[in-house]
Structure 1
Amino acid sequence: MDILSHLTPLFFGLIAAGTLIGIIFGAIPGMTATMAVAVCLPLTYAFGLENGIALLLGLYVGGISGGMVPAVLLNIPGTPSSITTTFDGYPMAQRGEGERALKTGIVASIFGGLFSAAVLFFFAPVLSDFAIQFSNVEKFLIILLALTVIASLCSNMLMGIFSGVLGVWLSLIGTYSIMDGGNGETRLMFDWMEYHLIDGFSLLPVLIGIFGLTTVLLDAENGFKDEAAQGPISLKNGKRFSFGVFKGQLTNLVRSSGIGTFVGMLPGVGGSAASVLAYSQEKNFSRDSSQMGKGAPQGIVSSESSNNALTGGALVPLLSLGIPGDSTTAILIGAFTLQGIQVGPLFIGNNLDTWYLMIIALVVANFLMFGIMYFAIRRIAKVVEVPKYILYPLIIMMCVVGAYAINYGIMFDVWTLLIFGLFGWVAHKIGLEVVPLIIGFILGKSAEVYFVKSLESYGNFSIFFTKSPIAMVLWALIAVSLAFAIYLRLRNRRETRTTTVS
């Protein structure tokens, strides 16, 4: 396959369309990049792998970047990763510097996005080559480590662990294949559901339900209250933007982009953690930290460069290990599944052309994001005024049609969409962590196969502790992640007690 033959007007047009749609989704409070990718996922089947991935990467980059618009104009983060953008963006908008704040964020965003794309290009193949040498034991421990890291960084570690285990349990519903070490019998389901669940729940309707329909249900519960009712701050007659605002900000840009990329590599941590960490580091090292939180441009720079650096960082574990870095890259697995391709250590080596096209799409999406937002920011800002009662019926229709068509017209996939949409709503109410649950669902079957095949090959559990130095290192990392989570919980409890006493 010739790479140049895929660099067609359709390829670049889909990147542009995805980036624009992603920006719109990100700019409307409550509609995230994850939701944009989930809703548009069924479309990728018609375009083929390379063009489909181009569309989804455009949605990803645009959705993350678009979140700064309501963060600056409404003081409402459009995406979770934009929460620290509100700290300085909204105060700047209040004093007539809304356009300056947005364009500062746009420039920081492209820097972070291109920084992480470079890290992805150079680091993912190296990690893949190393991971190819893993046996079933190491592969199982890698998945266990991923689930442990996700759970340990949740606000409630025990709930995070429970959510991950629940996701693994849901993934085991269906036939236990003889090829995977089973006996070919069905399990974990009622007789009346056996026909529909012989292969388990289909991944794509599950993803669309939890990340698409659940969002609609949560907003519907509040009566579709319009966050823009308070009125966005006008961008007219404000202080104009100048690139001089970045004078002395190179260290901030590089440090924040590096933090965002690294956090993106940690499975399931999310953009909010990256932006908060980068913002706090800039506050610690800034020469004039007293202005941060009052409308300091360096606060926007740290926030937006870090959360956009997530895009490339989160793709590193996905493409090199087959482990999604966040909820959006978890949905990207669905796109590969549609095309019959499995991501993991062999992906880059076996699909070099697709790999290079993904890097090209990621870089182009960042430049298009910059061009669209920088030169049309006043028009894009009007998106926050679009009422959700117009948008959400269209989204529900797209979810249903996509779930039905994704496996050539199986009605049970629509029921799966509804079941997991309601399940996501209930999970939100009772405090379940959705990201660990979904990643557990995606990785559960693979974890079982590696676990069973390890036991078949070596006969006892001791092999998980004595197989190789790599296995021992992975066990040490698992212990460290759990110990760190326990430490954070104890420290937070101590700080809460101190605050209460004082």
Structure 2
Amino acid sequence: MGESLLQALTQVGDLYTLSLIFAGVLFGIIGGSIPGFTVTMAILVVFPFTFSMDPVSGIALMVGVFVGGYSGGIVSGVMLGIPGTPSSITTVYDGYPMAKKGEPGRALGIGMFASFFGTLISILMLVFFGPLIAKFSMNFRPWEITALIVFALTLVAGLSNGALLKGLMAAAIGLFITTVGFDRNSNLRFDFGFEPLSDGFEILPVMIGVFAFSQLMSNVQSLGSEQSGKKEGISTSLKIPYRKIIIDLSRQKINIIRSSIIGGLVGALPGTGGTVANFLSYDQAKKLSRDPSKYGTGIPDGIIASEASNSAVAGGAFIPTLALGIPGDLPMAIMMGVLILHGITPGPLMFEQNPILVGSIYASLLIAAFVMVFCQILLLRWFAKISKVPQQILVPSVLMLCAVGSFALNNNLFDVWVLFIFGILGYLLWKAAVPLTPLILGVVLGNNLETQMFRALELDPSWTTFFTRPFSAFFFALALISVVFSILQNRRIAHTLKPKATIEARP
């Protein structure tokens, strides 16, 4: 593998291929930073340009977009409170509050370098542990994937900020949303005689509506108070305190390594992806923190956990795609399309039959990580200027971009209506103090949960099989432990805050 990697570095290191990686990273960052555009749409836009390229050049361009897109989601998440991609949702929790405290440059810088280290660590995992993880992934049958998804859904307990029942209710709403439309046996469910509902809801418009629209509505609500007195919002300071960022990162070495490993491992599991890694890493960082109540208030820990994990997925996601021919998510499915277009079939024999091409993917990921940091350093100051735009201009502009992004997904006006309807729902839930994250998690995982569960029951009708298979039982045990641990943690936080509330209530 070492010789193949050196040959691949020589092949990828020519000026033409390097320029493709640079262009891909830059376009990916821009695409990831625009709310509603997402890394998937950026890859779809670039995909036709690979038709006339050789396999190495085409893959290099796509890898650049892939790496840049995952890191670009932090920009809108920090500056607008709107995740640029679904895998940057938890970045908003601490990135946006930090920006509102007057430190947008610090938040963006932390996320940028966390993404860089996450990508590097995932590349190391891919190179040294790829074959082992690929072999481990082959043990995952429908029972194990079902248990893994259930475990991921139990994370709502740790991400509901003490409102466990409301979090579970939001997750149930998300799962219900995925049942609209045709089921596995082509039976219509919950369409109410309305034909557009027969295809169900697209995840992207739902996510944009629930998060972006509700955030924009809350911004509109705050316009009156801004105009009547003190203007509250993100500081327009464009200073990026690199020295302070280095100190923040040096204090979070374990968090960076842990979150990157989680991202790489989750990315290596078929059917998961950056969103699951994002939630899982943030949840684990919060659980292992000495003061979990600070999460969501604007601390470096949360930004690092989120950005290191979602960028680490870039390396891990290639493992099932290359070794098994099973794309973990839609971007990886498009990557497979590039390979198949050039007559290369991903699968167990690819490492033996096309070692130089596999090495070129490793080399492209490595180069793209450095290019990503270079582009971010040059452009972060310009991206941060979005905070200077008045809300009266920013709100309708971002809303228009969100609507265009939803429409461009399928060229379907119904998706725009979905955005607005779920935007109103998200705003009402936000007003009722219902956490929105569990709802999105339910929408993202619902279809896969149903597919894997029924596939498992078709293979073996007995429900006990879910608990007799070792890996499946292990994930269910982790799910139970996660819920119990979260309940105890919520009680500890409530007990800690109660004396403070009593002191504040005294005259």
TM-score above 0.5, yes or no:
yes
Summarize the Cα distance change of 1:435–1:131 in structure 2 as closer, same or farther, 3 Å threshold.
Answer: farther
Summarize the Cα distance change of 1:37–1:60 in structure 2 as closer, same or farther, 3 Å threshold.
Answer: farther
Residue in structure 2 matched with residue 176 of structure 1 by the alignment: 183
Summarize the Cα distance change of 1:160–1:251 in structure 2 as closer, same or farther, 3 Å threshold.
Answer: same
Per-residue CA deviation, residues 307-335 of structure 1 (Å, 9 max, x unaligned), is 5423334557867789xxxxxxxxx9455
Summarize the Cα distance change of 1:275–1:414 in structure 2 as closer, same or farther, 3 Å threshold.
Answer: same
Summarize the Cα distance change of 1:12–1:399 in structure 2 as closer, same or farther, 3 Å threshold.
Answer: same
**Contact 1:81–1:274 (CA under 8 A) maintained in structure 2:** no
**2:121 pairs with 1:115:** yes
Find the partner of 1:59 among 66, 69, 75: 69
Question: 2: CA distance between counterparts of 1:138 and 1:102?
Answer: 37
Alignment of structure 1 residues 77-88 onto 2, 5 Å:
79-82=92-95
**Contact 1:404–1:410 (CA under 8 A) maintained in structure 2:** yes
Question: TM-score, with normalisation over the residues of structure 1?
Answer: 0.67
**Contact 1:278–1:306 (CA under 8 A) maintained in structure 2:** no
**Contact 2:282–2:302 (CA under 8 A) maintained in structure 1:** no
Question: 1: CA distance between counterparts of 2:279 and 2:134?
Answer: 21
Summarize the Cα distance change of 1:36–1:110 in structure 2 as closer, same or farther, 3 Å threshold.
Answer: same
The residue identity in structure 1 corresponding to 2:409 is: I
Per-residue CA deviation, residues 372-407 of structure 1 (Å, 9 max, x unaligned), is 454566655544323343344333333333333322
Residue 15 of structure 1, CA deviation:
1.1
Residue in structure 2 matched with residue 217 of structure 1 by the alignment: 217
Aligned length: 433
Alignment of structure 1 residues 73-222 onto 2, 5 Å:
79-82=92-95, 110-111=116-117, 113-119=119-125, 122=128, 126-155=132-161, 156-178=163-185, 184-191=186-193, 193=194, 195-222=195-222
Question: 2: CA distance between counterparts of 1:84 and 1:396?
Answer: 21
**Contact 1:175–1:185 (CA under 8 A) maintained in structure 2:** yes
Summarize the Cα distance change of 1:160–1:190 in structure 2 as closer, same or farther, 3 Å threshold.
Answer: same
Summarize the Cα distance change of 1:213–1:380 in structure 2 as closer, same or farther, 3 Å threshold.
Answer: closer
The SS at the match of 1:406 is: helix
Summarize the Cα distance change of 1:436–1:122 in structure 2 as closer, same or farther, 3 Å threshold.
Answer: farther
Residue in structure 2 matched with residue 327 of structure 1 by the alignment: none
Residue in structure 2 matched with residue 441 of structure 1 by the alignment: 443
Summarize the Cα distance change of 1:89–1:149 in structure 2 as closer, same or farther, 3 Å threshold.
Answer: same
Superposed CA RMSD: 4.8
Find the partner of 1:400 among 403, 407, 428: 403
Per-residue CA deviation, residues 402-422 of structure 1 (Å, 9 max, x unaligned), is 333322x33322222222222
Per-residue CA deviation, residues 246-269 of structure 1 (Å, 9 max, x unaligned), is 69x996353231243256556553
Alignment of structure 1 residues 82-481 onto 2, 5 Å:
82=95, 110-111=116-117, 113-119=119-125, 122=128, 126-155=132-161, 156-178=163-185, 184-191=186-193, 193=194, 195-223=195-223, 232-233=236-237, 252=251, 254-261=253-260, 267=277, 269=279, 306-313=305-312, 333=329, 335=331, 363-374=366-377, 382-407=385-410, 409-466=411-468, 468-481=469-482
**Contact 2:171–2:439 (CA under 8 A) maintained in structure 1:** yes
Residue 340 of structure 1, CA deviation:
9.3
Question: 2: CA distance between counterparts of 1:320 and 1:165?
Answer: 32
The SS at the match of 1:36 is: coil
Deviates more, 1:258-267 or 1:429-438: 258-267
**Contact 1:53–1:335 (CA under 8 A) maintained in structure 2:** no
Question: 1: CA distance between counterparts of 2:234 and 2:96?
Answer: 19
Question: 2: CA distance between counterparts of 1:207 and 1:11?
Answer: 29
The residue identity in structure 2 corresponding to 1:426 is: L
Residue 448 of structure 1, CA deviation:
1.7
In the alignment, structure 2 segments of 5+ residues that lack a partner are 1-6, 49-58, 82-89, 267-275, 292-298, 322-327, 338-344
In the alignment, structure 1 segments of 5+ residues that lack a partner are 26-34, 72-76, 179-183, 282-298, 323-331
Residue 108 of structure 1, CA deviation:
6.6
Summarize the Cα distance change of 1:478–1:39 in structure 2 as closer, same or farther, 3 Å threshold.
Answer: closer
**Contact 2:220–2:391 (CA under 8 A) maintained in structure 1:** no
Question: 1: CA distance between counterparts of 2:111 and 2:429?
Answer: 33
Per-residue CA deviation, residues 23-73 of structure 1 (Å, 9 max, x unaligned), is xx5xxxxxxxxx6364675454332286566435313313437877899xx
Residue 487 of structure 1, CA deviation:
1.1
